[in-house]
Structure 1
Amino acid sequence: MQNDFDRFFVLTGGPGSGKTTLIAALRRAGFATSVEAGRGIIRDQSSIGGTALPWSDRTLFAELMLSWEMRSYQNAVEQKGPVFFDRGVPDTLGYLRLSGLPVADHVSTAAKRFRYNPRVFIAPPWPDIFAQDEERKQTPDEAKCTYHALAEIYTELGYELVPLPLAPVETRLRFVLTDAGLN
């Protein structure tokens, strides 16, 4: 892997499609990983009574997501070896578009500047495992729309999408490691 971005692997997709479970399996397998921005921000903002929440202030929520993802990227530069990201900078761009919010120039610039491995793993909608919780309030239809918005953004940015199989986490783990050349 010649550049940092070659060793930075993104897992993206709609909510409730098993991304975070797969990231946890990658972490247990000894790989460096990032924490999903959305859930972290929702937890933090809820704990302090903040308004940067997707149901309160979507624009502020998106700005915090962008900041979080850029910081995760910078932290990954300091790591050795492959790093797996639970979403990436382009997800913020997809979120803004999906929400019908304007995309500021700095968000587009960040999505172009912070590059990842050209192959992006995308988790397709998986109704059998989808569940709502305190932080995930989207419906299955919203999850499907999110998936399509993210697929469009990553494709526009020149990434090749690699759909994850609808399979148990161990199978998904082997699939990702094989596809990434890490097996």
Structure 2
Amino acid sequence: MNRFVILSGCSGGGKSTLLAELARRGYATVPEPGRRIIAEETLIGGSALPWLDLAAFARRAIEMALDDRTKAEGSGWTFFDRGLIDAAAALQHVTGEPVLEELGRLHRYHRRVFLTPPWPDIYGTDADRRHGFAAAAAEYQRLTDAYALLDYDIVILPKTAVEERADVLITALGR
């Protein structure tokens, strides 16, 4: 059984908060590639930013997600805030390059993927998340479709407190 578990879904839906709760409970976690890329690109004055060059950003996210998987080998249960499938879906959406199925079938995660649904009550923008709620909801639908296409068992997380969300996730994994 693959112990790499993806947290995906709507931007601003509480994935990072959930990841922090899982880390607090002692699980290995991997932060979202997108936020790390934005920090790096901002530091060097680069242009691989989602609001400047989404294709370059998605390509960097694919590279980072592959590297994250390599580094996590042997770590036991590891929870990823987004990952390879999300990055491949973004690149395919913006360029039309048929990368999703090839990468998604070659580099599998745990069969269950956990999606945070659109949740307007907690959605917010910041310096790194500049898109509005409608764009986030559209992204959620693309990701739901991508994971379904790749035959993942999709679990939609409830709109509840983070502790309850973590309990749902852990229970669904049989932990």
User: TM-score scaled to structure 2, two decimals?
Assistant: 0.95
Question: Which residue of the other structure, out of 91, 96, 100, is the alignment partner of 1:102?
Answer: 96
Question: Which residue of the other structure, out of 93, 106, 112, is the alignment partner of 1:119?
Answer: 112
User: TM-score scaled to structure 1, two decimals?
Assistant: 0.91
- 1:108 positional shift: 4.0
> Unaligned regions of 5+ residues in structure 2, if any?
none
Question: Which residue of the other structure, out of 30, 39, 42, is the alignment partner of 1:43?
Answer: 39
Q: Is the 8 A contact 1:53 1:60 kept in 2?
A: yes
Question: Which residue of the other structure, out of 73, 76, 85, is the alignment partner of 2:80?
Answer: 85
Letter of the 1:40 partner, please give it. R
**Residue in 1 that maps onto 2:71:** 75
Q: Percent identity?
A: 38
**Residue in 1 that maps onto 2:20:** 24
CA displacement, residues 27-48 of structure 1 (integer Å, 9 cap, x when unaligned): 1110001110011101110111
- 1:93 positional shift: 2.1
Cα RMSD between the aligned structures? 1.3
Distance 1:33 1:103 in 2: 30
The number of residue pairs the alignment matches comes to 175
SS at match of 2:48: coil
**Range moving further from structure 2, 68-77 or 124-133:** 68-77
> Unaligned regions of 5+ residues in structure 1, if any?
none
Moved over 4 A (4+): none
